[in-house]
Amino acid sequence: AVCINAAPRPMSSLQETIDSVLSEGWEDLTVFAEPGIEQASGASRTIIRPETVAPRMFDSLGPNGRFGAYQNFVQSMADMLLIHPEATAFLYVQDDVKFTPGTRELLERDLWPSQRTGVVSPYCPNFTGYRAETPRLKRIHQKNLMGALCYAMPRQAVEEMIRLPLVQTWKGGVRQTLT
């Protein structure tokens, strides 16, 4: 099941992201949009925040009365569990992601590198240690992932993540970890 989180930007890229997701063959898309987002075509459903499907995960909104990136990510995952009770995995995408042709095929072929995988990030920042000469999934041997632009997560990992107390109180400190 695929969701796209959309935030106001000087130049909207939501339609390009939807088109990119659709071009890879994913069809049932849910867009979770902050207020002020222009409507885009191709999504199966659009939920304008602060509306939620699951019970609201956070007591207060961020700046400008918006969820913000982190709260929208967590709430989207909780919402997707209810929207897609049959889904075994979830693909979370930010509204400024464009997929390389063949991404879905790569993910479906090599998605979970081990049975204990909690998240796969197909996003590749241009930093040393991340660069790859050919499109492939690469195990990163560092503590943190760069950029939360696109995550694939098995259902069990999403269910466990949203139950963690730290998920609802985390404020973005790099020294905090979810255990």
> What is the reported pLDDT for 123?
73
Extract the residue ranges of the chain whose pLDDT is less than 50: 178
Query: What is the pairing mode between strands 89-94 and 150-154?
Result: antiparallel
Contact 4, 43 (CB under 8 A): yes
SS3 call for 2: strand
> What is the reported pLDDT for 38?
82
Helix axes 155-163, 68-83, angle to 10 degrees: 120
Contact 34, 61 (CB under 8 A): no
> What is the reported pLDDT for 168?
81
Tell me the CA end-to-end span of the chain in Å, nearest whole number: 25
> What is the reported pLDDT for 135?
54
> What is the reported pLDDT for 106?
81
- Residue with structure tokens 């000087």? 10
